[in-house]
């Protein structure tokens, strides 16, 4: 059943303590992000995790704001085939069915996540036998064909390959496939298989390169990969800009970061590729603890980044990686926590689903963006 405005309000009120209901109702007053996006030809989406897929209030908020869904983890190989031949399509199927009911488009994330630690354990331990390159190709083929055939036309857009470039060197990452088939060959084959078995889907290479100085090698590596794929005739349609931004992403007017980011996006779009913001959130690790100051800082970083990135008409999708602070992966990311022990505030809604300044910044950036065809 599609969620109407009335049932959205009912779900929100039921799902929240009464002290929050007024704020939630207030959040319903401005135009939804998806309505603002539609006016510009921009899809607005969110990554929902299994844990929050059973939260009616959160889903109602997502249905109100978004016309696109991506499963945060449920579409990954580790989740779909945790043991060889034992498929677990149920959680992703349920999410995609709900998206369809809501009239949302679905992004598939992802067919192949290059870094070895994100491949299923059994894949990393696979016995490739006497003809390893053939066996590697067969295993990759079986995976992509099975997944694409299972989901069929339900998927509007696939992250075919995720994070293939090593940010430190700019070279291609190694895994059990690349070691047996060659990295470029494996990436190329993944796209060709996706094209054959999901012929209507947009096919995306997705990565987390940024505009800052420290990401120069990462940007170079991604550009090289895209050029190499294009020159081989690989069916790659777009670059996914993950956009896990933070204080290090200074792309304000006149900054070097902005120049470098534009240069990068110019080169990507110059290859005829589209762009998507696939995993947007703002890491506030370097911002002060004070909530008002922090939220304002997060909003300012977002507005700068989105003003530049959404100025490209080739960027037709904007997806959040979590809409409310408590749902964000950053709360559990041990590698770079806030040193003051405070919870992160990286998303447009707080843990009570109240809109934050970041939501205003996103709305303003969408309003300022040019219309896409
Ligand atoms: O579901 C299990 C739970 O049963 C278990 O008790 C718990 C113990 O650690 O783990 C739970 O699984 C975790 C899962 O998130 C759900 O919370 C996994 O350990 C954890 O590795 C997994 O992290 C995800 C990560 O990708 C790795 O798949 C994050 O949620 C997800 O946000 C993150 O998303 C990635 C994109 O796919 C690619 N780009 C970067 C982005 C952020 O890292």
234 SS3 class: coil
Alpha-helical segments (H) within 152-255: 178-181, 183-197, 216-232
Alpha carbon of 72 to ligand 1 centroid (Å): 8
More confident residue, 183 or 28: 183
Alpha carbon of 78 to ligand 1 centroid (Å): 10
Q: Which of 3-7, 160-164, 276-280, 350-354 has the lowest mean pLDDT?
A: 3-7
Is the pLDDT at 16 greater than 50? The verdict is: no
Q: 207 CB under 6 A from ligand 1?
A: no
The CATH architecture to which 5-368 belongs is Alpha-Beta Barrel (3.20)
Nearest-atom number in ligand 1 for the CA of 328 is 32
Nearest-atom number in ligand 1 for the CA of 242 is 39
Nearest-atom number in ligand 1 for the CA of 162 is 38
Cβ pair 63, 98 in contact under 8 A = no
Terminal Cα-to-Cα distance of the chain (whole angstroms): 30
Residues 166-180 have a mean pLDDT of 98
For ligand 1, atom 9, which residue shows the shortest CA distance? Answer: 332
Domain regions of the chain by residue span: 5-368
Mean pLDDT estimate for the chain: 93
How far, in Å, are 177, 235, 365 from residue 185 at the CA level? Answer: 9, 13, 39
Q: Exposure of 238 by Cβ count < 10 A (0-12 exposed, 13-18 middle, 19+ buried)?
A: buried
Count of residues for the chain? 373
List the one residue out of 218, 229, 217, 215 whose CA is nearest residue 186: 229
Q: Could you identify the residue written with the tokens 């770079």?
A: 336
Is the pLDDT at 101 greater than 70? The verdict is: yes
Q: 329 CB under 6 A from ligand 1?
A: yes
**Using one digit for the tens of pLDDT, what is the confidence trace for 30-70?**
899 999 999 999 999 999 999 999 999 999 999 999 999 99
**Using one digit for the tens of pLDDT, what is the confidence trace for 111-147?**
999 999 999 999 999 999 999 999 999 999 999 999 9
Q: How far apart are CA 366 and CA 277, in angstroms?
A: 13
| Element housing 320 (H / E) | strand 315-320
Confidence of residue 247 (pLDDT cuts 50, 70, 90): confident
Alpha carbon of 313 to ligand 1 centroid (Å): 32
Q: 72 CB under 6 A from ligand 1?
A: yes
Q: Could you identify the residue written with the tokens 């970083």?
A: 301
Residue from 110, 205, 210, 329 whose mutation best tests the ligand 1 pocket (most atoms within 8 A of CB): 329
Q: 242 CB under 6 A from ligand 1?
A: yes
The upper half-sphere exposure of residue 248, i.e. CA atoms within 13 Å in the direction of its Cβ, equals 12
Tokens representing residue 345 in the block: 């505030």
pTM (predicted TM-score): 0.94
Is the pLDDT at 344 greater than 80? The verdict is: yes
Nearest-atom number in ligand 1 for the CA of 50 is 16
C-beta atoms surrounding 138 within 10 Å: 12
Q: How far apart are CA 175 and CA 189, in angstroms?
A: 15
CA 149 to chain CA centroid, Å, is: 22
Q: What is the pLDDT of residue 166?
A: 98
């Amino acid at each position: 059943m599609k969620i109407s405005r009335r049932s959205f309000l009912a779900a929100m009120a039921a799902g929240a303590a009464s002290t929050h209901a007024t704020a939630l109702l207030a959040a319903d007053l401005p135009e939804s992000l998806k309505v603002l996006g539609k006016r510009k030809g921009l899809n607005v989406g969110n990554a929902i995790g299994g844990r929050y897929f059973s939260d009616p209030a959160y889903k109602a908020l997502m249905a109100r704001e978004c016309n696109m869904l991506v499963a945060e983890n449920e579409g990954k190989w580790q989740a779909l085939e945790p043991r060889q031949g034992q498929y677990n399509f149920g959680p992703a199927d349920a999410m995609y069915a709900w998206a369809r009911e809501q009239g949302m488009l679905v992004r598939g994330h992802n067919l192949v996540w290059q870094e070895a630690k994100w491949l299923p354990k059994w894949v990393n331990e696979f016995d490739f036998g006497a003809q390893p390159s053939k066996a590697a190709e067969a295993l990759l083929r079986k995976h992509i064909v099975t997944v694409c055939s299972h989901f069929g036309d339900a998927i509007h857009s696939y992250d075919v390959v995720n994070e293939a470039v090593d940010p430190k060197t700019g070279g291609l990452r190694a895994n059990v496939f690349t070691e047996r088939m060659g990295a470029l060959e494996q990436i190329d084959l993944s796209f060709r298989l996706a094209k054959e078995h999901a012929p209507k889907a947009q096919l995306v290479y997705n990565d987390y390169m940024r505009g800052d100085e420290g990401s120069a090698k990462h940007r170079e590596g991604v550009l090289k990969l895209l050029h190499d794929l294009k020159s081989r005739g690989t069916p790659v349609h777009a670059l996914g800009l993950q956009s896990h931004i933070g204080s290090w992403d200074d792309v304000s007017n006149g900054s070097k970061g902005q120049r470098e980011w534009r240069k990068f996006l110019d080169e990507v779009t110059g290859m005829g590729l589209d762009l998507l913001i696939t995993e947007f959130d703002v890491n506030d690790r370097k911002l002060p603890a004070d909530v008002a100051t922090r939220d304002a800082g997060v909003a300012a970083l977002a507005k700068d980044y989105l003003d530049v990135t959404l100025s490209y008409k080739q960027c037709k999708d904007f997806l959040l990686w979590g809409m409310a602070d408590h749902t964000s992966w950053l709360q559990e990311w041990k590698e770079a926590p806030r040193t003051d022990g405070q919870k992160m505030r990286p998303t447009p809604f707080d843990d009570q689903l109240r809109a934050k300044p970041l939501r205003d910044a996103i709305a303003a950036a969408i309003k300022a963006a040019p219309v896409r065809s």
